[in-house]
Structure formats: structure tokens, C-alpha cells
């Protein structure tokens, strides 16, 4: 690795000088699971004595890294009410992937960012959190990705999660010098271009603009190595006008709203026509079939997740109704009930990324069991909607 020479200092080529008028901006590309990166950021900040230190973090992720009691303030019920459970699951899956690498490298993921914050405090530099709110990033990513590509992402993350193969020495050495999560996104770039655009490309723009906005004549910016090329590419461009767009969650497409209501309207219309043609008894039989076709698979999903009996009953009761509205799914109803009757304890929040790597851990950890309830009851409801809808339409046309 070639060295980069700065006035009075010689740094590895992971340190880049960005031109910004009379200001000096040193951009450090790090690996989030590397002790070498921890040492590098500490060395640069101590030597440069900057006015400010920019971190590839938002307030939520910063608290997650620096506050050991953060889980006590996580309101899982509010997350479910706001229908953000799926984005929380993706965040935890990614965190678990990095933790597995960090365990083999002997470094806590994000340790270099914590070291940068501590070094800034020691030198009297102001800390700037320059990344986009993780909730906005994840929801933009989720909304921009089709259903089938969502499944591709989930399956890819789950496969990597249960991969117990140890990383060989050569790969370990490579990971010390690269951003592992950035590499994962790059690998998925061909099959999941929308995801890469939101998680990498958009954040390159956001990070570059936020670093430009910081005050001080001497700045050190610490980001994952995967963001360095994009930030350098965006640096000479004025993209401040895009910040509002990049900071908002796109609304649901009107087309999807129409499609979402089309299925329940079709089902209810079909039942009404069956009643008109064949009488109230036939309509009642189809309503019962709809209830059973939706309720039973959803309840089976709850049973597989080893949900509380009250959750299983709610799955049976909710699925026939939630299938007739796109506003909320059965998975969110049952997840909320499960949290009410079997709330996770703080210890389970703290061990969730480790428990994810064990198949049994998904049932042992109460937080992960909430995710199982959410996924399996939602899947059961989807299967029931197809079975029930097919039978009702067949009876209408038969």
C-alpha cells in the first residue's frame, strides 16, 4: 500500500486530501472491522488537531455505538405502529453480518468511528454526524426495491448469516483494508441496483454535501472505504439542491394504491354477486371459506413461530380482515400482540445480532421471535388470500 505525503506527515493511501478552498479536508477510508483503521484514525486526528471530525454516522447509529443503554429506550410498539419492523430486521441482519466478521477479526464493528469520536473529544475537535438518518435510508431502500428483489436480499443476508465457514488468512488480511459491508453491497449491485443506489450512491452525495457544510478550517472525515470513490467523485459538484429529495421517504405509488385496493374490492364484489345469483346461503359459505382460508394458514405461521396463544388467536382473527385492506397486514397485528404478551427483555436486544447466527436463536430470543411471528403470519395470510380468492372467483364463474 503506497503512502500519501502531507505537510509534516506521511499517511497510508487510505487518507485522501480534498480541495475545499482554504480549508483542509482529510478523508479517511476505513474498514468497519479493522484494528488498522482504529489505529489510523486515532493517529491522524491526534497529529492533525482538526477543528472538526466528520463521522459516517447519524444520531441513531452514533447512540447505538456509544450508549450501552440504548436498548432501554427502543420503543418496539411504536416501530410496529409505524410499520418499520421490516426495515429494523434488515438493519439487524446487516449488523449481524458485520459482527460475525468482527468476531473473527477481534474488532467490534464501527470501532474506528468510536475511536474517532473519542480522539475528537481528546483534541477538542467538534464531532459532526454526517450520514443520513438510518431510518430514512432503510425505508427508501425498502420502497425502491421490488418484492422479488426484497426476497433476494433477505435470502442473501440469511445465507451469509448461517455461513459458519471460517474466513481464511488471506481474506482476513483483505478485510483489514476494505469496507466489508460496502463490498457486500457492491457484490449485490448487479442483481439489486436499486438497493446499491440508495445505500451507497445516494449516501455518497449526502456525505459529501454534509462534510462541505461543516465549520472549521481543518477537518478530518472518517467513512467506510466503499464510500471514498463516490465522495471524491461528488466533491467538485454542487448537489446541495438534492439534499431535500435525499432526506425524504418517497410516497407509495398511486398505481400500487389502486392495486392494493383492487384485490379486496374484487373479493367483496365476487361474494356480493354470489349472494345475488345463488342466495344468502352461498354467500355465507364463501365468507366462511374466506375466513378459514386466511385464518388457518396465518395461525399455523404463529404456531411455527411458537407464538403466545393470544398471538395465534389474533392471527386467525386478523388475517381475514387485514387481507381485505392494504392499510395494515396480519404480520403487524400479530407482532404487536406478541410484543404486548411476551415483551423482549433488554438482554435479548443486546444479544440479538449474535442470536441471529443460530437457527435455534430465532426461537430462543423473544425479539427474534417477534420477527418470526411477523414474517410467518404474514406469509400465511398471503397464502390464504390466494387460496380464498381463487376459490371465491371459481365459485363466481362456475
The per-residue pLDDT string of the chain (398 residues; one tens digit each, 9 = 90 and over) reads 455 556 667 888 889 999 878 888 999 998 777 788 889 999 999 999 999 999 999 988 888 777 766 655 667 888 888 777 877 777 777 777 666 666 666 667 788 999 999 999 999 999 999 999 888 888 888 777 776 777 766 676 666 666 655 555 455 555 545 554 555 555 555 666 777 888 889 999 999 999 999 999 999 999 988 899 999 999 999 999 999 999 988 777 777 677 778 888 889 999 999 998 888 999 999 999 999 999 999 999 999 999 999 999 999 999 999 988 877 889 999 999 999 999 887 778 878 878 887 888 899 999 999 999 999 999 999 999 999 999 998 888 86
Whether residues 225 and 318 fall in one domain: no
CB 97 within 8 A of CB 160: yes
Give the residue from 191, 226, 246 where a domain finishes. Answer: 246
Strand 9-12, strand 3-6: pairing: antiparallel
How many Cα atoms within 13 Å fall on the side-chain side of residue 312?
Answer: 12
Q: What share of the chain is helix, strand, coil (3-state, %, to 5)?
A: 65, 10, 25
Whether residues 12 and 132 fall in one domain: yes
CB 380 within 8 A of CB 301: yes
Number of helices (H), then strands (E), in the chain? 21, 7
Whether residues 322 and 363 fall in one domain: yes
CB 380 within 8 A of CB 315: yes
Name all contacts of 363-366 with Cβ < 8 Å and 24+ positions apart.
Answer: 363/305, 363/306, 366/342
Whether residues 268 and 226 fall in one domain: no
Whether residues 7 and 96 fall in one domain: yes
Residue 169's pLDDT is what?
Answer: 46
Backbone φ and ψ of 219, nearest 5°: -125, 140
Sequence-separated (6 or more) residues with CB below 8 Å from residue 330:
294, 298, 315, 318, 319, 322, 323, 377, 378, 380, 381
CB 110 within 8 A of CB 36: no
Give the residue from 225, 246, 267 where a domain finishes. Answer: 246
3-state secondary structure of 38: helix
DSSP summary character for residue 328: -
Q: How many residues does the chain have?
A: 398
Per the structure, the complete domain to which residue 392 belongs is given by 254-397
Whether residues 17 and 137 fall in one domain: yes
Residue 86's pLDDT is what?
Answer: 76
Whether residues 259 and 393 fall in one domain: yes
Give the residue from 195, 219, 246 where a domain finishes. Answer: 246
Whether residues 79 and 121 fall in one domain: yes
Whether residues 12 and 50 fall in one domain: yes
Residue 178's pLDDT is what?
Answer: 52
Spacing of C-alpha 259 from chain mean position: 26
CB 331 within 8 A of CB 378: yes
DSSP bridge pairs for 26: 17, 220
- How many structural domains comprise the chain? 2
| Residue in 332, 290, 328, 327 with CA at minimum distance from that of residue 314 | 332
Whether residues 9 and 58 fall in one domain: yes
> What phi-psi label fits residue 52: left (phi over 0), alpha (psi between -120 and 50 degrees) or beta?
beta
Give the sign of the dihedral formed by CA 301, CA 383, CA 258, CA 288. negative
Give the sign of the dihedral formed by CA 68, CA 72, CA 77, CA 78. negative
Whether residues 241 and 179 fall in one domain: yes
Residue 165's pLDDT is what?
Answer: 59
| Residue in 201, 246, 186, 210 with CA at minimum distance from that of residue 56 | 210
Whether residues 77 and 221 fall in one domain: yes
Residue 71's pLDDT is what?
Answer: 58
Tell me how far apart the alpha carbons of residues 87 and 138 are, in angstroms, rounded to a whole number. 6
Residue 249's pLDDT is what?
Answer: 83
Tell me how far apart the alpha carbons of residues 370 and 373 are, in angstroms, rounded to a whole number. 5
> What phi-psi label fits residue 24: left (phi over 0), alpha (psi between -120 and 50 degrees) or beta?
beta
CA end-to-end distance (rounded Å), the chain: 73
Sequence-separated (6 or more) residues with CB below 8 Å from residue 255:
none
CB 177 within 8 A of CB 2: no
Cα 334 to Cα 16, 308, 352, distances in angstroms: 50, 10, 20
Amino acid at each position: 500500500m503506497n503512502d500519501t505525503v502531507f505537510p509534516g506527515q506521511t499517511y497510508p493511501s487510505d487518507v485522501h486530501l480534498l480541495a475545499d478552498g482554504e480549508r483542509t479536508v482529510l478523508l479517511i477510508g476505513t474498514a468497519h472491522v479493522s484494528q488498522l483503521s482504529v489505529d489510523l484514525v486515532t493517529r491522524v486526528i491526534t497529529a492533525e488537531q482538526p477543528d472538526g471530525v466528520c463521522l459516517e454516522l447519524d444520531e441513531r447509529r452514533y447512540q447505538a455505538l456509544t450508549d450501552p443503554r440504548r436498548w432501554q429506550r427502543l420503543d418496539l410498539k411504536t416501530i410496529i405502529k409505524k410499520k418499520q419492523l421490516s426495515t429494523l430486521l434488515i438493519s439487524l441482519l446487516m449488523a449481524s453480518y458485520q459482527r460475525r466478521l468482527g468476531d473473527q477479526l477481534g474488532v467490534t464493528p464501527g470501532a474506528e468511528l468510536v475511536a474517532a469520536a473519542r480522539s475528537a473529544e481528546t483534541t477538542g475537535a467538534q464531532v459532526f454526524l454526517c450520514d443520513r438518518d438510518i431510518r430514512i435510508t432503510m425505508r427508501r431502500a425498502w420502497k425502491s426495491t421490488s418484492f422479488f428483489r426484497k426476497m433476494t436480499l433477505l435470502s442473501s443476508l440469511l445465507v451469509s448469516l448461517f455461513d459458519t465457514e471460517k474466513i481464511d488468512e488471506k481474506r482476513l488480511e483483505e478485510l483489514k483494508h476494505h469496507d466489508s459491508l460496502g463490498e457486500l453491497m457492491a457484490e449485490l449491485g448487479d442483481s439489486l441496483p436499486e438497493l446499491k443506489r440508495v445505500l451507497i450512491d445516494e449516501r455518497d452525495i449526502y456525505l459529501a454535501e454534509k462534510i462541505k457544510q461543516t465549520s472549521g478550517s481543518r477537518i478530518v472525515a472518517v467513512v467506510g472505504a466503499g464510500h471514498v470513490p463516490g465522495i471524491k467523485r461528488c466533491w467538485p459538484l454542487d448537489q446541495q439542491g438534492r439534499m431535500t429529495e435525499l432526506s425524504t421517504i418517497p410516497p407509495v405509488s398511486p398505481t400500487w394504491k389502486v392495486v392494493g385496493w383492487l384485490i379486496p374490492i374484487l373479493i367483496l364484489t365476487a361474494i356480493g354477486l354470489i349472494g345475488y345469483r345463488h342466495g344468502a346461503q352461498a354467500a355465507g359459505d364463501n365468507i366462511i371459506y374466506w375466513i378459514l382460508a386466511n385464518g388457518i394458514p396465518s395461525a399455523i405461521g404463529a404456531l411455527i413461530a411458537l407464538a403466545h396463544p393470544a398471538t395465534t388467536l389474533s392471527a386467525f382473527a386478523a388475517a381475514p380482515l387485514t387481507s381485505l385492506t392494504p392499510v395494515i397486514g396480519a404480520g403487524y397485528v400479530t407482532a404487536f400482540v406478541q410484543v404486548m404478551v411476551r415483551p423482549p427483555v433488554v438482554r435479548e436486544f443486546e444479544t440479538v445480532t449474535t442470536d441471529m447466527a443460530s437457527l435455534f436463536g430465532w426461537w430462543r430470543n423473544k425479539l427474534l421471535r417477534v420477527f418470526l411471528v411477523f414474517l410467518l403470519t404474514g406469509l400465511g395470510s398471503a397464502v390464504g388470500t390466494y387460496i380464498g380468492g381463487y376459490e371465491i372467483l371459481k365459485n363466481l364463474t362456475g
